[in-house]
């Protein structure tokens, strides 16, 4: 799959730069046209000649060096690239990418590329776990940059932890998986809902839940990467993956309108959103004030049921393949089976949100997938991105077998 592809390899200044030589060599052996771009710091670790010899192409480092090709070099390379991989990606270069800083050849090129971008972070564990780095990775992920690794293990500084660059073979495998997946969903429209709805009590308060949108946004990203036209209706305040149509909503009623607007020509609907079952009869126009501050100063709020969007889709559906999610705390399977039937969905993904690593707000999930034909699969703890990839595969198999 990689043969003939133009791959730009960005190499940053870290001890893992030596592994980039193996990566460039592996890509060249796969038949890629590899173009290496190094930061000045990277040249302190590995000589550019190594990369020139392994790739068979000139290595770019300096912005204002004598051009090695006739076009404005960073733009020329950016236009040519089918894939860009930054490995190792240091905290510094990730920060530049997240903020759009362009002060050397590599960072300028990374602003100009339009092809899929992969980064393989490599740094000391403390730097990797730092809030700033995690925020930058989140921003990049939101823009559609694919993060490979990092792995855990012994680090150059003598400590052990997360931050080792993924092995070159794993990076090549990730690129191959990406190319295999790309296009599998082309021509299909997928509607995904995400986050937790908020039902206002007054201008400053709401009834809500802990839905962060991580699960739904991961699914939107995976379907988009696989070539589907994706509409993401989200109540979460997180960045939407690049390339999806994102409709932002707050309440269940807004979510219902947005979903119905895009339902008719959708092929698949995946409802990960945690929709509030009830809302206050009426939101107060002004902030509700305490009346006396006494112990018996109770506030009574009358709630009315919200529309059940998924059940409504279940009644309306024609060609659409409906996937519901269910968050349960007890009698998990019994409740899930009841929802599968009552809401008339094709597949129901249930998570026991009392389990560590499952459900709201976390980056991982543990689910059981139930289908209308009675089949059932238990999936172990995995990242929400992995879960999304697996779910997309399973749904595609079902669509293709119909």
Name the residues annotated as catalytic. Answer: 157
- Whichever of 222 and 275 has its CB closer to ligand PMT, that residue is 275
With CB under 6 A, what is the number of residues at the site for ligand PMT? 28
Closest CA to 153 of 122, 127, 118: 122
Euclidean distance between CA atoms 148 and 85, whole angstroms: 10
Closest CA to 310 of 270, 369, 268: 270
10 lies in the binding site for ligand PMT (CB under 6 A): no
Q: Which of 117, 274, 347, 395 binds ligand PMT (CB under 6 A)?
A: 274
Least separation in angstroms between residue 199's CB and ligand PMT is 11
Q: Which of 360, 379, 381, 393 binds ligand PMT (CB under 6 A)?
A: 360
Q: Please, what is the angle between helix 73-80 and helix 105-112, to 10°?
A: 50
Report phi then psi at 60, rounded to 5. Answer: -95, 135
Least separation in angstroms between residue 32's CB and ligand PMT is 36
Contact range with ligand PMT by CB under 6 A, out of 86-94, 122-130, 159-167, 267-275: 267-275
271 lies in the binding site for ligand PMT (CB under 6 A): yes
Closest CA to 256 of 319, 207, 305: 305
- Whichever of 149 and 314 has its CB closer to ligand PMT, that residue is 314
Euclidean distance between CA atoms 112 and 218, whole angstroms: 25
Euclidean distance between CA atoms 13 and 179, whole angstroms: 28
340 lies in the binding site for ligand PMT (CB under 6 A): no
Which residues in 183-335 belong to E strands, given as ranges? 189-194, 199-202, 205-207, 229-234, 245-248, 268-271, 278-280, 303-305, 321-328
- Whichever of 83 and 219 has its CB closer to ligand PMT, that residue is 219
Whether residue 35 contacts residue 78, with contact meaning beta carbons closer than 8 Å, is answered with no
Q: Binding to ligand PMT (CB under 6 A): which residues in 153-212?
A: 195, 211-212
327 lies in the binding site for ligand PMT (CB under 6 A): yes
Among left, alpha and beta (phi > 0; psi -120 to 50; other), residue 4 is left
277 lies in the binding site for ligand PMT (CB under 6 A): yes
272 lies in the binding site for ligand PMT (CB under 6 A): yes
Contact range with ligand PMT by CB under 6 A, out of 33-41, 69-77, 117-125, 301-309: 301-309
Least separation in angstroms between residue 363's CB and ligand PMT is 8
Euclidean distance between CA atoms 8 and 200, whole angstroms: 49
- Whichever of 190 and 215 has its CB closer to ligand PMT, that residue is 215
Q: Binding to ligand PMT (CB under 6 A): which residues in 228-257?
A: 252
- Whichever of 74 and 279 has its CB closer to ligand PMT, that residue is 279
Contact range with ligand PMT by CB under 6 A, out of 42-50, 144-152, 174-182, 325-333: 325-333
Closest CA to 305 of 253, 233, 341, 236: 253
Report phi then psi at 345, rounded to 5. Answer: -100, 160
Residues lying near ligand PMT in the complex (CB under 6 A) are found at: 195, 211-216, 252, 271-275, 277, 306, 308-310, 324-327, 339, 351, 353, 359-361
């Amino acid at each position: 799959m990689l043969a003939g592809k133009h791959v730009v390899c960005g190499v940053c200044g870290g001890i893992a730069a030596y592994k980039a030589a193996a990566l460039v060599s592996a890509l060249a052996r796969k038949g890629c046209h590899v173009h290496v771009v190094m930061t000045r710091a990277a040249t302190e670790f590995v000589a550019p000649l190594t990369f020139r010899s392994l790739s068979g192409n000139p290595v770019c480092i300096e912005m204002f060096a004598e051009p090695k090709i006739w076009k404005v070099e960073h733009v020329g390379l950016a236009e040519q690239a089918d894939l860009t991989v930054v490995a190792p990606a240091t905290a510094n270069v990730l920060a530049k990418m997240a903020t759009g800083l362009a002060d050397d050849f590599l960072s300028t090129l990374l602003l100009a590329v339009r092809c899929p971008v992969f980064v393989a972070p490599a740094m000391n564990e403390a730097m990797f776990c730092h809030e700033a780095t995690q925020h930058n990775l989140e921003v990049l992920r939101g823009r559609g940059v694919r993060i490979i690794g990092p792995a855990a293990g012994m680090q150059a500084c003598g400590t052990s932890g997360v931050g080792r660059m993924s092995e070159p073979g794993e990076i090549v495998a990730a690129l191959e998986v990406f190319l295999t997946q790309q296009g599998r969903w082309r021509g299909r429209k997928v509607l995904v809902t995400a986050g937790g709805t908020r039902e206002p009590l007054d201008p400053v308060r709401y009834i809500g839940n802990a839905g962060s949108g991580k699960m739904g946004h991961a699914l939107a990203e995976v379907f988009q990467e696989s070539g589907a036209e994706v509409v993401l209706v989200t109540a979460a305040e997180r960045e939407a993956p690049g390339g999806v149509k994102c409709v932002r909503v707050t309440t269940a009623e807004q979510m219902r309108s947005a979903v119905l607007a895009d339902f008719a020509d959708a092929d698949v609907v995946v409802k990960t959103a945690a929709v509030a079952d009830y809302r206050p009869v009426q939101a107060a126009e002004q902030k509700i004030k305490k009346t006396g501050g006494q112990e018996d100063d109770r506030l009574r709020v009358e709630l009315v049921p919200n529309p059940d969007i998924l059940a409504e889709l279940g009644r309306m559906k024609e060609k659409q393949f409906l996937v519901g999610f269910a968050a349960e705390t007890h009698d998990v399977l019994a409740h899930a089976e009841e929802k599968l039937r009552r809401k008339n969905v094709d597949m129901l993904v249930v998570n026991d949100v009392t389990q560590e690593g499952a459900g709201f707000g976390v980056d991982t999930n543990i689910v059981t997938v139930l289908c209308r034909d009675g089949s059932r699969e238990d999936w172990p703890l995995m990242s929400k991105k992995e879960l999304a990839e697996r779910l997309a595969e399973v749904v595609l198999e079902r669509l293709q077998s119909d």
